[in-house]
Structure 1
Amino acid sequence: MIELVNVSKTFSDGHRALSNINIKIDNGEFVFLVGPSGAGKSTLIKLLLKETEADQGKILINDKDVTRLKRKEIPFLRRSIGVVFQDFRLLQEKTVYENVAFAMEVIEAPAKDIRRQVPIVLSLVGLSKKSNLYPSQLSGGEQQRVSLARAMVNGPSILIADEPTGNLDPDTSWEIMKSINEINRRGTTILMATHAKEIVNAMKKRVIAIEEGTIARDDMKGGYGI
């Protein structure tokens, strides 16, 4: 569960990125976050990941108030949230398997758990036969699927996807969306920031639209609408 209660954020230059935001996303929901560039989408994501701090308000993730977390508790918060970015952010010197395994290694997961879990998530995103290849040997869509596998390998309850199809052609974008939809079908909460109007309009999921730092629309019926 994700809940923001009266959340505002103003940066040091005086720019008010978010103003009195109230959002509640239930477990297992799939929500698109839309709006023009500079509307506040990235700031909202950074608040959820504790990469920046709110000036006021409360942010609950899985019933824990993250605005009150101590620094040493932040890594545990981030383990419950998988993140996929537009630019893949893969380690070029590591294979597909090693890129995904690395996400488990950094939390000191046992080797036997890594050997069991990595093939499972690679199968989920259709990359079982590519595990020994390097990112440079993959297409853009395949690289993004590696990013998805890496985000999901530790079993997070929430997946945040920040423009995951932004660097991909339309056909490849739909393949990525099929994978994300399957992850949601298996119970993971999805929050996806996007400018992809065709995807938003076709999938008919809940849409939260942000304009100039405020919630302009929260529509359960879907549709980009901006």
Structure 2
Amino acid sequence: MNILQQSRNLVLAQIQKACQQAERDEHSVELLAVSKTHPSETLAEMYAAGQRRFGENYLQEALDKIEALKEFDIEWHFIGHVQRNKTKHLAEKFAWVHGVDRLIIAERLSSQREASQAPLNICLQVNIDAQDTKDGCQPAEVAELVTKISQLPNLCLRGLMVIPAPNNAAAFKDAKALFDAVKTQHAHPEDWDTLSMGMSADMSEAIAAGSTMVRVGTALFGARDYSAKA
């Protein structure tokens, strides 16, 4: 068993333990491997270890990996900040986009997603604890955005994504409360099933609060090499 397989097994065990402590089904939490700055060869090894969902932050780097690994059945997630001039590539190449925080971004993704493709899964990024350095819409804006975005064609609005400040477990509970409260605004409430929160250092707290998808990089791949950023 190689190091990546061992790392993935340890993370899955941590997810399982957190679910048990929260009295949740371990299959109710998905593992998204945050693979930014790691080369395609490393992703291929992690794929061989059983991982299928990969999250990327930098568009050009991600597009290069998507091309290099096109023979693999990978579910690609974009988890970086979404800029207006990059929506076309996101709409064409990804299965999920987590960083939507404005109606105009959702409208562009909807219009640029081919009708022949499966609907693009999206999450609203919410600045849940009012950090000056974080992107995301304000909690008070979420209900209206859900109402409008859930009606757009070629998109499937799945839920919320949050990145609280370190050591702020209370923000996870706030995110879960908001997630539950705005479901009634969704045109297709059966699609509202994803609360993307929790990373390597705080995934257990996020799962206890109700996370359904944890975004894990360091615990899977080790420290990142930022010199490799595209």
Q: More strand by proportion, 1 or 2? A: 1
Global fold match (TM > 0.5): no
Higher helix share: 2
Classify the TM-score, shorter chain. Answer: 0.3 to 0.5
TM-score by length of 1: 0.37
> Which structure has the higher relative contact order (CA within 8 Å, separation 6+)?
1
